């Protein structure tokens, strides 16, 4: 897929035609979901948040809107939509769900399911001051450029795993968020 001018229709058809193949089974039992909000415009964007500095976990990190599934959620998709509404005021009815990527394990013990959805370009985001320090958009073509992600192998508790690192403007995108974006790029057929 060419980098400079990714079109939304091309992204959608690639995502829907190239179904994700689970690379490994997620081991964590606690369920969570994140919304990967793709902004509908001629040159689509990827909406991201920077988490509030006072949060107990992942403070100040770039993330997708999302969180733990709770008993009121009918599904993983419902959990992602609820969290996106709570964190950045994206109305669930305004999200066109394309599908999900295979779940990934977080270091905090969750099995996180990424939910891919298209949102309108004219939404007015209202960040929850308790959870979100900033809301920003990265051009989707730039986000899906595999060359922007750099591997770092980390050894923790006798286990080794790879994390991905990247910068966008003054935002440091790394860890699970960078890994999910990279998996999305691979899913739609971007070549490493």
Q: What is the pLDDT of residues 68-108, one digit of tens each?
A: 999 999 999 999 999 999 999 999 999 999 999 998 888 77
In this structure, what is the dihedral angle of CA atoms 84, 30, 187, 150, given to the nearest 10 degrees?
Answer: 90
Instruction: For domain 8-187, give the fold.
Output: Nucleoside Triphosphate Pyrophosphohydrolase (3.90.79)
Closest by CA to 88, choosing from 111, 44, 119, is: 119
Buried b or exposed e, range 39-70, using 16+ CB within 10 angstroms: bbeeebbbbbbbbbeeeeebeebbbbbbbebe
Low-confidence ranges of the chain (pLDDT < 50): 1-3
Tracing tokens 């599908």 back to the chain, one arrives at 99
pLDDT of residue 112: 92
């Amino acid at each position: 897929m060419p980098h400079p001018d990714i079109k939304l229709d091309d992204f959608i058809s690639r995502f829907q035609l190239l179904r994700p193949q689970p690379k490994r089974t997620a081991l964590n039992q606690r369920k969570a979901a994140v919304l990967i909000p793709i902004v509908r415009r001629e040159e689509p964007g990827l909406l991201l948040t920077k988490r509030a500095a006072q949060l107990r976990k992942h403070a100040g990190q770039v993330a997708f809107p999302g969180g733990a599934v709770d008993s009121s959620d009918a599904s993983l998709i419902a959990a992602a939509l609820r969290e996106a509404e709570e964190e950045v005021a994206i109305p669930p009815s305004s999200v066109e769900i394309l599908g999900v990527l295979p779940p990934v394990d977080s270091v905090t013990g969750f099995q996180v399911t990424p939910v891919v959805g298209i949102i309108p370009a004219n939404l007015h985001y209202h960040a929850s001051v308790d959870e979100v320090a900033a809301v920003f958009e990265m051009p989707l073509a730039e986000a899906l450029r595999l060359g922007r992600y750099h591997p770092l192998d980390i050894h923790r508790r006798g286990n080794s795993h790879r994390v991905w690192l990247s910068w966008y403007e003054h935002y440091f995108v790394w860890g699970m968020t960078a890994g999910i974006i990279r998996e999305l790029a691979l899913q739609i057929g971007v070549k490493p």
